[in-house]
Structure 1
Amino acid sequence: MKKYSRVLAGILAVLLSAGCTGLYAAAQSDSSSAADSTASTTKNESDKKDTKDTKKADKSDSDTEKQAKEETVYVITDASGNKTKTVVSNWLKNPQGVKKLEDVSNLTDIENVKTDEGFTANGDKLTWDTEGGDIYYKGYTDKALPVDVKVTYTLDGKEIKPEDLAGKSGKLTVRYDYTNNDKKTVKINGKKTDIYVPYLMATTAILDTNVYSNVEVTNGKLISDGSRQILIGVAMPGLTKSLDLQDNEDIEIPEYVEFTADVKDFESTTSLTVATSDIFSKLDLSDIGDADDLQDKLDELSDATDELVDGTAELYAGIKKLSDSSGTLITGIDKLYSGSKSLDDGAKTLNSGATKLRDGAKTLDSSTGELMRGISTAHSGSTALLGGFDQVNSGMSTLKNGSSSLSSGLSQVSSGAQQVNNGAASLAAGTNKLVTGVGDLQAGSKNLAAGTKQTYDGSTALKKGVATLNAGVSTLYEKVQTLPASVELLSNGVTKVDNALTQSIAYDQQVLAGLEQLLGNYEEGSAEYTSISNMIAAVNGSIQYQQGAQSGLGDVSTGVGTMATEGKQLVDGVTQIYNGLNDKKKGLVAGVDNLNTGLKTVNEGASALKTGIGTLAKSSKDLNNGAATLSAGTKNLSAGVNSAQAGASKLDKGVDSLNTGVSKLSNGAKTLDSGLGQLDNGSKQLKDGTATLYSSLVELAQGTTTLSSGSAELFSGIGQLKDGSSQLSSGVKKLESGAKTLKDGMAKYKDEGIGKLLDIYNNDLKGLIDRLDALKTAAEDSTTFSGAADGVESSVKYIYETAAIEKADE
């Protein structure tokens, strides 16, 4: 059984639809026949004037048109279809307004039916004299017709002559048979084959509802306007043989038109039949294309399917490789996670040590301030003591010079003794504060030593964490470099599959559009409608399958795009970590080394400070003892002055002794004052140093806090990366499974879909297209009945007018 009936059914539907256009309008008029109307056209003056007046306008609107000839062959027949007369009406179109219009015609009794212009004849060649306008003429011929029409009448199951049918009632069957006489021999696939020029026969008749009822039509339609029913029937005689469809049970091309009706007091009006091959000659077969074009399209479709299958295979291979690589990636991320944990722990230890070191430096700076203030007070007391000694020396000189001044001198000595006593008390208080400050300084130096040790321990842990981090990042950096290549391979495979699917869907949608257009020309339930519907369902199924695959592929593509973006972010992030760590590693290690060096210097300074504080503590004790001795001396001095006042006899000896002691004491006070001045300056420098140390350690503590916070964020981020890598591995596994399913499905689609379509084409469709092309060529060659001049476009249609059956006058 032939498999191209669906395509053929669509073509026939287009022809049948076109053949009925315009016949309905003709059927609406039941007055005089078209032949009589043309033959009775008069040459009145108004017609001539109107024609002449419009010639210039016609010409200007048609300057770009070519000369053409349009023929209408009117065949007048009796009620049985037997020809009685053939009248040909010709319209010579003269768009360029030439004065001499060439024509070819084999008609007799030629007559201009519009104007007075005549013609000269040379055999069948005519030259019309024109005034620049068109020519309308008619003539007659006995030439055999390309198609004959036969009308048969059957009343109540018995054939009846039309003249005997008038006035009868009963069950009437009227059948129109068409015989195609226009046969040509052509070559199809290298073999000589007979085909018939494809004429479309369309018959129309008006059925009075007072006469006809219960009308049923074979190979036609019935249209009603209320008072009348209009029959339109269509047939294509010889087309079944031309297409070699005699044995095809799926397609029945109508060769006749028939209707049955219950009639009462029968009579009929004239029926008209139009025959034309013009529809075939202008039929656009581009939707089907010639055999070579269709072969090319099918080859492209087959190639696209091969690419689609290859693409899905490449997609599966790429996803499988990505799946295999994901395990290595996860191992690298685990190592990175472990290294970041060590870094975070070391940073926290360093921050704790730096904080303690900062607190110890603060205590040291505060204690140094108190020490500086005590030394300053002691220095002030020593300065006052030197002033007292100067007064004592002056009094001693006065005492030595005269006893008359003894009372005054002794008073001055008493006053100076009191000042010395006051200075000694201030000195004692200052030395007590000095001792207290030295104690605080010793406590601060101990805290400083403990803080620097903790800081040094933290920096050592930090250095180990940096080394661990560097190893983990290096491992991760090496592993992620393969990720972009795997994702790119995956993306290329997805793109190939999507492009091939899009092209395949486009081919199927073109076929679907053509089939849906053809479906509209058939009634639901007909064999053609069912056949085309089945093919539409098959093509729709193919499209839906491919669109479903493409939709799934879209999800794959989206996942791949997300994977590519996240993968790039991962690679970029790891690269930034790797490069940043390489850039900062030396600086970080150097910073830790510098920190260790600085801590060592601090330790050395703390040791020196401890030694200096020990010396200062010893000196402060000596100073305190000296102050006590000074205090005791001033008491003795006061007692001596009282004794001197009581006994002048002992004055001279006491003055000499006092002068010697005062000289020694004055020299000791000067030495003490000089030492305290140096100690005062040193304490100020010490205070500046401890303030600088505290400020530096504050900055260090802030830096280690920032480092600890950053390492914590890094540790948290790598933890998220570790969690995400597990999800990535799971997603890749699912993607691998989906890609395998897609690959297997595309292989099945190639075998069961495209392969079968190619078999149908190679077995049946190619021969059909060749025959359709031959029919189209035959129709293009049959464009004139009475002849046409060379280079003139011509067209012809045939109108058969079948005589009415009328009741005899009573």
Structure 2
Amino acid sequence: MMMRNRIFLVLMTFVLILPSFLVHASANENEKEEDTLKNPGQYRSKDEVVYATLSPTGVQQEIYVVNIFDVIKEGKLVDYGPYESSKNLTSLSDIQLKNNKVEFAAPKGKFYYQGNMKDEALPWDIRISYRLDGKRVPPAELAGKDGHFKVTIQTSANEEVDPIFYENYLLQVTLTLDPDMYRNIKASEEGMVANAGKNKQITYTVMPEKDGELSLEADVTELELPGIEIAAVPSSMSIDVPDIDEMAGEMKSLTDAIAQINNGVGDLKNGVSELNSGVASLRDGSAQFKKGMNDVNQASSQLVEGSSAINNGLATVSSSLKGNFEQINLAELEKLQARLPEIAAGLDEMSKGFAYLRDNYSDAYRQMEEALNNIPEYEITKADLEALYESGADREVVDQLFDTYTAAHQAKDVFASAKEAFDAVDGRLAEVNGAIGEIEKTLGNVQTVISALENVDVVDSITQLQEGMDEFSASYQAFHSGLVGYTKGVGQLSSSYNQLHSGIVDLSGGTNELENGVGQLHNGTGTLYESTNNLPDQMKEEIDSMISEYDKSDFEAVSFVSDKNEKVNSVQFVIKTESILLEEKETTEKPKEEKQGFWARLKELFS
């Protein structure tokens, strides 16, 4: 009984003392706050973290700012912002908010307060759309569905907000997927897939001053999608210029190699030009030689006809001399004597034609041999062709170059194999021309003998004449057979040379195309050299330009909520969409009664 009385007295004492203590403590706190508000404080810097929630499609719903002050002297501080309401996150002291002006008493150290905004827009327009099996589906109808799922996120500048954030901030967009629910995950090129615990995390980065078009595809079962997180931070890191000396050296080696190729193609162009000139001269000489061969071939038939007449006449004279000498008709000798000058003149013209033919043949043959010998012996390999292809040269021109190179070497090989036959033609022409001269001389002797018959006794000289005519007729018949064989050879030579001349004409056309093609190739390699001559410097300038485009190291932070705020150190944005989740079934459970202890009951008494 006594113990109970003591406990009761202690409790009553505590009940009587506690309210007065609380009132006194509250009074002391208020007095301290009032004293702090009377003295201005100082802060080193201020940070702003902007939190925003979006609907699953990107429609802005809620936005508030957590302001963080680094206070170096306690006292009254003033901040600005279009807030609807504010909340002290550091202490229980009040914050005064009026006409977008915030006043509060801040102790030394870190001070936090939250400002809630209503319709303030973000610097980015964010649009999110969803497709299931190729059909666009509203987010409200996606939860729990199966199929091929695709989400597309588009970001662009909000034209109604200061562009400084769009121009200097990069966006980091993150989606988190449960691998038990999502399979065959494929992100667009900007996305990076990584493991985050048991989940897959897909992260995208949108650079400053760039619009984003991000997409993600996967096969899904019982679809649920946690909120998409979007962080915006200033791209204020300094980008170091990479060491490109080694790369520049390699580029310089490349330009030097291109210069050597250009010089080599220039030398090739000069050589091909000389080759083309030589082949053109060969073609012209061959045309003259062909004409002479055709003339000789056409004259061969007349030569054979005349020789046949001579042969027949000599045979007739020789046979007639074997009969009765008194019956010899000297009129036939007179006819033969009259024809002999004509035959001799024809042989003289033929001799001159053969001399002309031999001279032209020698010149043409020498030019052809010189031109074909001037064709270079170098070999163009497949590796050389691939190098030309990779140098940027016109592929069609390179193919023409190689085809003409092949044709030129084929013509050279054919000439080498037929050189012995060509060499023999000149000697054969000399022999034929000498034989014609001998025949012409013999005809003169025959004409002299026949003329002498007019002044001598025919009967006395006929025996000698018969013997001479028999011998001459036999010799001429052998000559006539050789002449017929020779004219056939001339005909075959003329026909064969026509084909050779056609090949030389084709070769000339090929070398002409080759010269044009190599000229175009040289122009191409020249242009390539000119465009790559300053490649190392151009590369450095391009890298400097790219780095300067994304180097925001000189960016100075400004307040998102008001341009009146000073000493702003940083502003960050934390944005998140609502999750797409299956609704949980409500379960009604009877709350368990918890046994209350003494202090809980005492607290309940005072509340």
The two structures have a TM-score, normalised by structure 2, of: 0.52
Letter in 1 for 2:286: L
- Structure 1 residues 247 and 753, CA, compared in 2 at 3 Å: closer, same or farther? closer
Identify which of 373, 391, 394 aligns with 1:453: 373
Cα distance in 2 for residues equivalent to 1:737 and 1:242: 45
Q: 2:352 aligns with which of 432, 435, 447?
A: 432
Paired residue total:
385
What is the CA–CA distance in structure 1 between the aligned matches of 2:297 and 2:475, rounded to whole Å? 21
Give the Cα separation in 2 of the matches to 1:744 and 1:421: 112
Task: Report if the CA contact (8 A) 2:283-2:504 is conserved.
Answer: yes
User: Contact 1:452 / 1:603 at 8 angstroms: preserved in 2?
Assistant: no
Q: Aligned partners of 1:424, 1:734: CA distance in 2, in Å?
A: 94
Q: Which amino acid aligns with 1:291?
A: N
Shift of 1:681: 0.8
1:688 aligns with 2:605: no
Q: 1: CA distance between counterparts of 2:103 and 2:270?
A: 95
Q: Against the structure 1 CA distance between its residues 293 and 654, is the aligned structure 2 distance closer, same or farther, given a 3 Å change threshold?
A: same
Counterparts of 1:769-784 in structure 2, within 5 Å, are none
Q: Determine the C-alpha separation between the residues in 1 that align with 2:361 and 2:252.
A: 56
Matched, 1:697 2:529: no
Q: CA deviation at 1:449?
A: 0.9
**What CA deviation, in whole Å up to 9, does each residue of 1:677-712 have, x standing for no partner?**
213313422441343133112212212212221122
| Cα 1:448/1:193, change in 2 over 3 Å | closer
Cα RMSD (Å): 4.9
Structure 1 residue 423: Cα displacement: 0.7
Deviations 1:702-730 (A, max 9, x none): 12212221122112211221245255235
Tell which has more relative contact order, 1 or 2 (C-alpha 8 A, sep 6+). Answer: 1
1:627 aligns with 2:405: no
The answer to whether structure 1 residue 349 and structure 2 residue 271 are counterparts is yes
- Aligned residue number for residue 289 of structure 2: 367
- Among 257, 260, 285, the residue aligned to 1:338: 260
Which runs of structure 2 are paired with 1:208-247 in the superposition (5 Å)?
none
- Taking a change above 3 Å as real, the CA distance of residues 355 and 463 of structure 1, as seen in their structure-2 partners, is farther
Question: Contact between 1:420 and 1:634, CA under 8 Å: does it hold in 2?
Answer: yes
Using the TM superposition, name which of 298-307 and 332-341 deviates more. 298-307
In 2, Cα distance between the equivalents of 1:699 and 1:730?
47
Which residue does the alignment assign to 1:714? Answer: 524
Give the alignment's TM-score, normalised by structure 1: 0.40
The Cα shift of 1:453 comes to 0.9
Map of 2:362 onto structure 1: 442
CA deviation after TM superposition for structure 1 residue 609, in Å: 0.8
Output aligned runs, 1:739-778, within 5 Å.
739=549, 742-746=551-555, 749-750=556-557, 753=559
Distance, in Å, in 1 between the alignment partners of 2:257 and 2:478 is 74
Partner Cα distance (1:663, 1:367) in 2: 35
How far apart, CA to CA, are the structure 1 residues paired with 2:522 and 2:414? Answer: 30
Bigger-Rg structure (1/2): 1
Q: How does 1:87-98 map to 2 (within 5 A)?
A: none
CA contact (8 A) 1:367 1:444 kept: yes
Cα–Cα, structure 1 residues 399 and 625, in superposed 2: closer, same or farther, change >3 Å? Answer: closer
Is the Cα contact below 8 Å between 1:361 and 1:694 reproduced in 2? yes
Name the SS of the counterpart of 2:78 in structure 1: coil
Distance 1:3 1:382, change over 3 A: same
Within 5 A, what are the aligned runs for 1:507-546? none
Q: Which of the numbers 664, 681, 688 marks the counterpart of 2:474?
A: 664
- Asked if 1:385 is matched to 2:273, the reply is no
Question: 1:359: Cα distance to partner?
Answer: 0.8
Structure 1 residues 664 and 290: CA distance shift in structure 2, 3 A: same
Check conservation: 1:360, 1:448, Cα contact below 8 A: yes
More strand as a share of residues: 2
- Whether the aligned pair in 2 keeps the contact of 1:357 and 1:451 (CA below 8 Å) is yes
Q: Given the superposition, is the C-alpha separation of residues 708 and 672 from structure 1 closer, same or farther in structure 2, using an over 3 Å criterion? A: same
**Structure 2, gaps ≥5 residues long:** 1-75, 105-113, 126-160, 171-207, 209-231, 569-607
Deviation for aligned residue 1:434: 0.8
Q: Is the 8 A contact 2:408 2:507 kept in 1?
A: no
Report SS of the residue matched to 1:332: helix
CA distance in 2 between partners of 1:734 and 1:415 (Å) = 106
Rounded Cα–Cα distance in structure 1 between residues aligned with 2:259 and 2:408: 27
Deviations 1:531-569 (A, max 9, x none): xxxxxxxxxxxxxxxxxxxxxxxxxxxxxxxxxxxxxxx
Counterpart residue number, 2:405: 592
How many Å separate the matches in 2 of 1:697 and 1:242? 98
Distance 1:759 1:627, change over 3 A: same
Kindly indicate whether residue 336 of structure 2 is the aligned counterpart of residue 416 of structure 1.
yes
**Which whole-Å deviations, capped at 9, do the CAs of 1:36-84 have from their partners, x for residues lacking one?**
xxxxxxxxxxxxxxxxxxxxxxxxxxxxxxxxxxxxxxxxxxxxxxxxx
Aligned to 1:675: 485
- Quickly say closer, same or farther: Cα 1:753–1:631, change in 2 above 3 A: farther
Q: Is contact 1:343–1:469 with CA below 8 Å preserved after alignment? A: no
Alignment partner, residue 463 of structure 1: 380
Residue deviations 1:168-208, cap 9 Å, x none? xxxxxxxxxxxxxxxxxx998799999xxxxxxxxxxxxxx
Matches of 2:289 and 2:499, distance apart in 1? 13
Identity value in percent: 7
Query: Alpha-carbon deviation of 1:668?
Result: 2.7
2:46 maps to what in 1? Answer: none
Q: Is the 8 A contact 1:382 1:672 kept in 2?
A: no
**What residue number does 1:642 align with?**
454
Q: Provide the residue aligned with 1:291 in structure 2.
A: 116
> Does the 8 Å CA contact 1:371/1:434 hold for their aligned counterparts?
no
SS at match of 1:649: helix
Give 1:394's match in structure 2, choosing from 310, 316, 326.
316
Q: Say if 1:247 and 1:434 are closer, same or farther in 2 by CA, change over 3 A.
A: closer
Corresponding position: 1:612 with 2:425: yes
Q: Distance in 2 between matches of 1:684 and 1:735?
A: 73
How much has 1:411 moved relative to structure 2? Answer: 1.8
Q: Give the residue type in structure 2 aligned to 1:394.
A: T
Change (3 A) 1:241 1:759: closer
Report which of the two has the higher share of helix.
1
Q: Distance in 2 between matches of 1:246 and 1:313?
A: 29
Residues 617 and 760 from structure 1, CA distance in 2 versus in 1: closer, same or farther, beyond 3 angstroms?
same
